[in-house]
């Protein structure tokens, strides 16, 4: 009996010791590894313009990524960044409406641009990667007419881009270069496909948002939706959704719409703008000085 009690006492004590030692040892090793990686990077910094090319740098991020996958996405594409100096809330009137169009360019783009031009307003286009000559010309027209171009996704394949933070950064870099190479504009804002929190990125969204912000990019969610991608959407339902949604906003309205070939939206757009103008609203294009809605992280 005494031997049995002694055995269990020793087993409990050993368990307590392991419970304390193992986590502490892990933290020490992780801190040492982080310090070593930091030293490795600082010892081989990029050296001038020759050190930077698409997807590479002088300290060979790709090889470090293969060795240290936990930190891979922070080392990928160091040139993928923007200069964020802060939001300027004083310059945005509470009755400002930011019309945003996801997924373009598309066959709807010329008609949408015609409406915006006729109404004398600017908007924001969060674009995908498109390879056709038509899409290229439409993207250039968006830029030429003074609208803001933001990044959405190069592939728009949710399972792929949200498989890991590294996959998302890979896709974002392609989207960034797509816009920059065609228009000469380096985009500073983006919209996550499906929004910053969605069913595909529930395990990653905090890391995704943190990494995007760390690189200086501002991500933009929305507080009004036209509902134009719903199966039973009509031009009348879109108008009603936007008008009613804007009235519920305490400040500027950020309206989600899609540039995806939907003729119902093209028909609804001028009526939406005219109704809102009649109610004293003005319109603007986003940039990284405008504080956008960002979906709130759920607790727990």
- Tell me how long the chain is: 300
- 33 — pLDDT class (breaks 50, 70, 90): low
More confident residue, 48 or 63: 63
Give all domains of the chain, ordered by start, each with its CATH number.
2-75 (no CATH), 89-284 (3.20.20.370)
CA distances from 190 to 13, 100, 153, 221, 280 (A): 54, 11, 9, 9, 28
pLDDT tens track for 13-26: 766 766 666 565 65
Q: What is the pLDDT of residues 62-95, one digit of tens each?
A: 555 555 555 678 999 999 999 999 999 999 999 9
Do residues 166 and 126 touch, judged by C-beta distance below 8 A? Answer: no
Average pLDDT over residues 95-117: 98
**Nearest one of 213, 258, 252, 239 to 108, comparing CA atoms:** 258
Measured between alpha carbons, how far is 276 from 271 in angstroms, rounded to an integer?
9
230-270 pLDDT tens trace: 999 999 999 999 999 999 999 999 999 999 999 999 999 99
pLDDT 10s digits, 139-152:
999 999 999 999 99
Q: What pTM was computed for the model?
A: 0.78
Per-residue pLDDT reduced to its tens digit, 260-298: 999 999 999 999 999 999 999 999 999 999 999 999 766
CA separation, residue 171 to residues 57, 154, 156, 160 (Å): 18, 6, 9, 9
């Amino acid at each position: 009996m005494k031997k049995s009690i002694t055995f269990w006492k020793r087993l409990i004590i050993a368990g307590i010791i392991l419970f304390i030692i193992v986590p502490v040892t892990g933290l020490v090793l992780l801190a040492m590894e982080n310090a070593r990686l930091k030293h490795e990077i600082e010892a081989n910094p990029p050296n001038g313009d020759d050190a930077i090319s698409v997807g590479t740098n002088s300290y060979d991020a790709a090889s470090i990524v293969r060795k240290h996958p936990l930190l891979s996405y922070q080392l990928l594409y160091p040139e993928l960044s923007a200069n964020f100096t802060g939001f300027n809330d004083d310059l945005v009137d509470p009755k400002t409406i930011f019309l945003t169009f996801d997924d373009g360019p598309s066959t709807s783009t010329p008609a949408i641009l015609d409406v915006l031009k006729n109404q004398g307003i600017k908007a924001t286009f969060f674009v995908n990667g498109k390879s056709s000559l038509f899409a290229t010309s439409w993207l250039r027209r968006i830029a030429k007419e003074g609208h803001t171009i933001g990044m959405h996704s190069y592939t728009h394949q949710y399972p792929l881009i949200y498989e890991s933070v590294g996959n998302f950064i890979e896709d974002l870099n392609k989207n960034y270069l797509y816009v920059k190479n065609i228009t000469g504009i380096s985009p500073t804002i983006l919209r996550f496909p499906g929004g910053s929190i969605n069913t595909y990125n529930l395990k990653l969204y905090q890391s995704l948002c943190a990494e995007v912000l760390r690189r200086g990019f501002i991500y933009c969610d929305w507080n009004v939706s036209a509902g134009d991608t719903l199966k039973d959407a009509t031009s009348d339902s879109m108008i009603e959704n936007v008008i009613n949604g804007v009235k519920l906003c305490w400040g500027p309205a950020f309206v989600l719409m899609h540039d995806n070939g939907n003729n119902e939206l093209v028909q609804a757009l001028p009526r939406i703008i005219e109704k809102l103008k009649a109610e004293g609203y003005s319109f603007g294009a986003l940039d990284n000085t405008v504080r956008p809605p960002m979906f709130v992280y759920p607790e727990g």
